[in-house]
Amino acid sequence: MLAVTPTHDHRDPALLRRWAETADRFGAELAPGPAAGGRAVPAPALPRVVERTGGLDPDRLLLARYTSRPAAVELYTDTIAFAEALVSRLGWRHWYPRGSVRRAALAHEELHCRLHHGPRKAALKAALGHTALRIGPVRVAGHVAGADEIAAHAYARAAGGLGRSPLLLTAALAHAVTAAARPATGTTREN
């Protein structure tokens, strides 16, 4: 995912892989569940959830999206239904149990919310170790485009106990929606 982000086209693939692995681990470790010392980490409360349709636009495919003003998660029910049907059609139920697409979409946006508010965004930057500016001993941690998305997918995978990352389903969904939107091209010609 990072390799196809235009900001990273000149970066070393090994660095991108390290950043992706770090972001994946960061997101998974934030997921609710057993924490160090046997304590349970509770899931934070989501902002208001608004259900709507209109997410199946091939140019801007949306399952869910977090908005900070006002704080809300927009959940696209048409895309979720399409994704659930795609999971069945592809035989991926063992990875994505029924209802898990909605739960994963909510968990994904939950992490975006947590990264937007509070210290988690700075913690992700620190974990990635990318330096945007250094003046003597002063170092400013830089933003790594796409790392928050990788962290959110890892969080959704871990929080939902999914067999595969939601990134796999997202890629399959984008392909299926794009293919469905293409006009049918026939091989017959009329003279």
Q: Is the pLDDT of residue 190 over 80?
A: no
Q: Is the pLDDT of residue 23 over 50?
A: yes
Q: Give the per-residue pLDDT at 36.
A: 39
- pTM of the predicted protein model: 0.84
Instruction: Kindly provide the b/e burial profile for residues 55-85, where b requires at least 16 CB atoms within 10 angstroms of the residue's own CB.
Output: bbeeeebbbbbbbeeeebbbbbeebbebbbe
pLDDT band of residue 127 (cuts 50, 70, 90) is very high
Nearest by Cα to 47 from 123, 116, 128? 116
Mean pLDDT of the chain: 87
Beta strand extents in 17-174 (DSSP E only): 33-34, 40-41, 48-52, 64-68, 71-76, 131-135, 138-141
**Is pLDDT larger for residue 159 or for residue 10?**
159
